[in-house]
Amino acid sequence: MSFLKVSGTKIVDKDGKEVILRGAGLGGWMNMENFISGYPGCEFQIRAALADAVGSEKSEFFFDKFLEYFFTEDDAIFFKSSGLNCIRLPFNYRHFEDDMNPRVLKTGGFKHLDRVIDLCAKHGIYTILDLHTAPGGQNTDWHADAGTHIANFWNHKDFQDRTLWLWKELAEHYKDNTWIAGYNPLNEPTDPYHTRVIDFYDQVYKVIRAVDPDHALFFDGNTFASDFSYFGDVYKKWENSAYAIHDYTLFGFPSSPEQYVGNETQQRRLRRSYEKKREWMDKAGLCVWNGEWGPVYARKEYDGEKTEAINEERYTVLKDQLAIYNKDRLSWSIWLYKDIGFQGMVFVSRETPYMTLFKDFLAKKHRLAIDAWGADETHIRSVYQPLVDLIKQEVPERYQAIYPAPVWKLQDRIGRLSRNILLSEFMVKEWAQHFVGKTETELDEIASSFKFNNCLFRDGLNKILKDNASLVAESA
Ligand SMILES: O[C@@H]1[C@@H](O)[C@H](O[C@@H]2CO[C@@H](O[C@@H]3CO[C@@H](O)[C@H](O)[C@H]3O)[C@H](O)[C@H]2O)OC[C@H]1O
C-alpha cells in the first residue's frame, strides 16, 4: 500500500491509476454540531454546561461513550457496502489542545481518531483529516465552535501559530499512514481580506511538508470553500495539493427560490454555480475535490404531509448534482453520514433514549429556528423584522453588506446573531438539565442511541448513492 498522490487534475495511486474518492463527512462526531446532534449553540458551550450540571467525571464519560458509539465497525461495513471509498473526518482542535494549556498535546485526542481511521482502513476506506474548528474560529459560523460571528483566527497571529503547531503534531503522528488520503488543513475559512488565508496556507504547507512529504493536501477556498479568486499563482509553490469547493445549492434547501423540477434552466444554474467555484482550478489545470455538498430533508414531525414530495424534489437535485460530478470524474464527500434526521445517510431513531429525552426540547428548537443550517424561519420572521427594518432605515445602504456578504444577506446575519448565537445561548443550560440525576448506566444508554443498530436509513439517499456507485463502476 502506498500513498495516494495528486497528479495534475487527478488523484492517482502508486501506478498512476486514477482513484476517484466518493464518500461522506463524519460531521457531528469529533466536531459536534447543533443540528446534527440536537443541542443548542456550540460544542464548547454544551460541554461546559454538562460538566456544570452533572460534574466533569460523568460529563466526560458521556462524551467518550458518544464518540465511541457514533462510529463503530458496523458503520464502516455499511459505508463500504454503499459503494463509497472515503470518509472525511472533521475534528475540533480542542480534542488535542486546551486553550488554558496551549501547545501541550492532549494525546487522548488520538484515541477515537486513530480507532476510526484504522476501522476504515480495515474495510478499505480512505480517510481525509479535516480541521473543522481552529483556535479563535476560522469562520463566522457555529461549526467553527467559537461562539461568535467574528472569525478571530484571522486577527490573532497566535491562533494561527497554534494551528501550525497542531498540524505539525498531527502530521508527525500520521505521516506513515497510507490509508489517510490527505489532510484538509482548514474547513471553510472566511478571511474578509482574502489574502491572510493564502499566507496561512503557505505556512501550513511548509510545516506539514517538513515532517510529512507524502500526504496530499486539500485546501478549501475562502468564503466557505467557494472563492479562489485571490489565489493567483500560489499553487506553483504547493506540490501534491488539491483544492476543495463546497458545492451547496439553494435548490436543496427550504430557502430555495423555486420548486426544483430539473428543467433546463435549473440544471444550467446548478452547473454554473458549481463551475464558478472551480474556475480558478480549471484555468490552472488543478485537481478539484468537492468536500461538502448535498440537500437537507423534510421531516414528518415538522413538515407533515408535504414530507415525501419535498424529499423527492431534493433527491432530484441530488441526482442532477451527481450527474454533473460524474461527467467531470470529480472526487466528492457528501455532507453527511450520520445525524438526528435532517441530512444524514443514517439517523438516530426517534424511539431511542436520546430522542425520547429530548423530544420536546427539539420541537422547541425547531419552533424557534435556532439552528441556522437549512432553517425555515418564515413563521418567526416577524419577530426579527423590526431589527432588519431598523438597520435598513438607519444604516446607509452602502454599509449594510458586511462580509461574508453577499453569501450572508442582512437577514442571514441577523438570524445568525439573534437566534443561532444569542437565543441558543439561553437554551444551553436547559439542554444540560436533561441529564441531571442520570446514572452512568443511563448515560451510557443515552449515548448508545447513536449506535449504528439504533439508527434508521435514509433509503432514498442511500439508493441514489449506491446506484451511482454501480453506474460509475460500469463506466470506469
Ligand atoms: O460543518 C458544516 C459546514 O462546513 C457547512 O458550512 C456552511 C456551508 O455553506 C455556507 O453557505 C453556503 C455558501 O455558498 C452559497 O453558494 C450556498 O448557497 C450557501 O449554502 C454556510 O454559511 C456554511 O455555514 O454547513 C453545514 C455544517 O454542518
Atom of ligand 1 nearest to the CA of 35: 28
Which of 149, 222, 224 maximizes ligand 1 atoms within 8 Å of its Cβ, making it the mutation to test the pocket?
224
For ligand 1, atom 23, the nearest C-alpha belongs to 224
Ligand 1 centroid – CA 95 distance (Å) = 23
Active site residue 292: yes
**Dihedral (Cα; 379, 380, 382, 384), 10-degree rounding:** -150
Out of 188, 264, 351, 394, the active site residue is: 188
- pLDDT of 474 reads 82
Mean pLDDT score, 285-293: 98
30's CB contacts (< 8 A; 6+ apart) are: 67, 89, 90, 91, 92, 95, 112, 113
Instruction: Tell whether the model's pLDDT for residue 75 goes beyond 90.
Output: yes
Indicate the pLDDT class of residue 450, thresholds 50, 70 and 90: very high
Average pLDDT over residues 29-54: 98
Q: What angle separates helix 459-474 from helix 307-327, to the nearest 10 degrees?
A: 20
Test site for ligand 1: of 29, 188, 342, most ligand atoms within 8 A of the Cβ: 188
How far, in Å, from the CA of 140 to the mean position of ligand 1? 11
- Give the confidence band of 95 by pLDDT, cuts at 50, 70, 90: very high
Can you tell me the mean pLDDT for 232-248? 98
pLDDT at 378: 93
Of 48, 2, 37, 108, nearest to 344 by C-alpha is 37
- The sign of the dihedral angle between the CA atoms of 420, 426, 432, 434 is negative
ipTM: 0.97
Residue 274 neighbours by CB distance under 10 Å: 20
Report the nearest-CA residue for atom 8 of ligand 1.
224
Give the position, in ligand 1's atom list, of the atom nearest the Cα of 142.
Answer: 24
To the query of whether residue 301 is one of the catalytic residues in this protein, the response is: no
Per-residue pLDDT, averaged over 405-410, amounts to 96
Give percent of the chain with pLDDT exceeding 90.
99
- What's the CA gap between 393 and 401, in Å, rounded? 14
Ligand 1 atom showing the smallest separation from residue 36 Cα:
28
> Cα of 441 to ligand 1 centre, how many Å?
37
Using CA atoms, how far residue 383 sits from 227, 368, 379, 386, 390, in Å, is 33, 10, 9, 7, 13
pTM of model > 0.90: yes
- Phi/psi-derived region of residue 3, left when phi > 0, alpha when psi is between -120 and 50, beta in every other case: beta
What is the β-pairing status of strands 455-457 and 346-348? Answer: antiparallel
Confidence (pLDDT) at 253: 98
Q: 333 C-alpha to center of ligand 1: Å? A: 14
At 89, which helix (H) or strand (E)? strand 86-92
pLDDT at 288: 98
Best residue among 184, 248, 403 to mutate for probing ligand 1's pocket (most ligand atoms within 8 Å of CB) is 248
Ligand 1 centre from 444 Cα, in Å? 32
If one counts the domains in the chain, the total is 1
Is residue 270 over pLDDT 90?
A: yes
Q: Which residues pair with 334 in a beta bridge?
A: 24
Q: Whole-angstrom Cα distance, residue 237 to residue 245? A: 20
Mean pLDDT of 395-401: 97
Cα 350 to Cα 336, 357, 441: the distances in Å are: 18, 10, 20
Residue 248 Cα, ligand 1 centroid: separation in angstroms? 7
Which band of pLDDT confidence, cut at 50, 70 and 90, is reported for residue 475? confident
Nearest-atom index, ligand 1, CA of 33: 28
Mean pLDDT, rounded, for 7-13: 98
272 C-alpha to center of ligand 1: Å?
18
| Closest Cα to atom 6 of ligand 1 | 224
Domain that holds residue 199: 5-475
Q: Is 305 exposed, middle or buried (CB count within 10 Å of its CB: 0-12, 13-18, 19+)?
A: exposed
* Closest ligand 1 atom, residue 250 Cα: 18
Kindly tell me if the per-residue pLDDT of 1 is higher than 90.
no
Whole-angstrom Cα distance, residue 291 to residue 314? 19
Q: Using most ligand atoms within 8 A of CB, pick from 141, 336, 409 the residue to mutate for ligand 1.
A: 141
Considering the candidates 68, 97, 292, 377, report the single residue annotated as catalytic: 292
Return d(Cα 320, Cα 259) in angstroms, integer. Answer: 14
Domain harbouring 17, CATH code: 3.20.20.80
- Asked whether the beta carbons of 414 and 372 are under 8 A apart, the reply is no
Distance, CA 32 to ligand 1 centroid (Å)? 16
The residues near 28 (Cβ < 8 Å, ≥ 6 apart) are 36, 37, 70, 336, 338, 339
**Confidence at 201, pLDDT banded by 50, 70, 90:** very high
Mean pLDDT value of segment 425-444: 98
Residue keyed to cell 461522506:
24
Statement: residue 476 has pLDDT above 80: no
Judge contact between 75 and 127, C-beta under 8 A: no
CA angle 190, 196, 201 (to 5 degrees): 90
Nearest CA to ligand 1 atom 25: 373
Residue 134 reports pLDDT greater than 90: yes
Ligand 1 closest atom vs CA 226: 14
Confidence band of 473 (pLDDT split at 50, 70, 90): confident
Pairing of strands 331-334, 22-25: parallel
CB-defined site of ligand 1, < 6 Å: 27, 33, 141, 143, 187-188, 224, 226, 246, 248, 250, 292, 373, 407
pLDDT at 433: 98
